Amino acid sequence: MRIADIESHIDHELVSKTQIAELISKVAAQVSRDYEGKDLLLLAVLKGAVNTLAALSQEISIPAQIDFMSLSSYGSGTQSSGTITVRKDLDCSVRGRHILIVEDIIDSGQTLRWLIDELKGRGAASVEVFALLDKVSRHEVQVDVKYPGYVIPDEFVVGFGLDYDEQYRNLDSIAVLKPQEYEHEDQGEQS
Ligand code: IMP
Ligand code: MG
């Protein structure tokens, strides 16, 4: 929702609530066609992809299961790193399943690269990706994205599941915070 307190921390909006809904509807329609008759597993990476998964899954018109993984990539507060740790694994086996990874954002691409290889290694029948946002200019590794989202500039964003220091996930659009909000950047991890 729009919260007055959050509003005062925002510098500018990058993707509106309406734009998010439009993209997700379009992707859901495409996914429903592409996976017709297949055993579809929607896999969201906690916590950032939860809002996108919730919105997408409601618009998919074919049967689909949902599961979650929590991964962390250690680095400084707004930087990712290549070292991925599994904090919570899937509840189900992926062997022979058609998996659509739902992600909030592709930054370096390290998280997705690792996850795609991991799922294929576990015997998934297919692994595709929908990422709501993509910082194309920051990619360090190549990732094939079947359902691309909005390309955004190299700015740290919050909202629609994305956080800064665990805050702002409940904002209903994608925004950049005022510079002073990022001033207390600390060593931390991303999820
Ligand atoms: P990667 O660099 O592509 O591995 O991105 C890893 C994760 O870092 C993403 O899934 C997000 O959870 C987080 N992340 C990357 N960029 C941002 C951002 O601008 N805002 C909030 N989280 C981000
Ligand atoms: Mg994430």
* 41 C-alpha to ligand 2 centroid (Å): 18
Round to whole Å and give the CA distance between 142 and 70.
22
- Written as six digits, the tokens of 91 are 């509840």
Domain boundaries of the chain, sorted by first residue: 3-179
pLDDT of residue 187: 43
Closest ligand to residue 109's CA = 1
CATH architecture for the domain at 3-179: 3-Layer(aba) Sandwich (3.40)
**Dist. CA 101 → ligand 2 center (Å):** 11
Among 107, 117, 144, 163, the active-site one is 107
Of residues 187, 181, 174, 186, the one with CA closest to residue 23: 174
The whole-number pLDDT of residue 7 equals 84
164 touches 182 (CB < 8 A): yes
Q: What is the pTM of this model?
A: 0.92
Residues of the chain with pLDDT under 50: 187-188
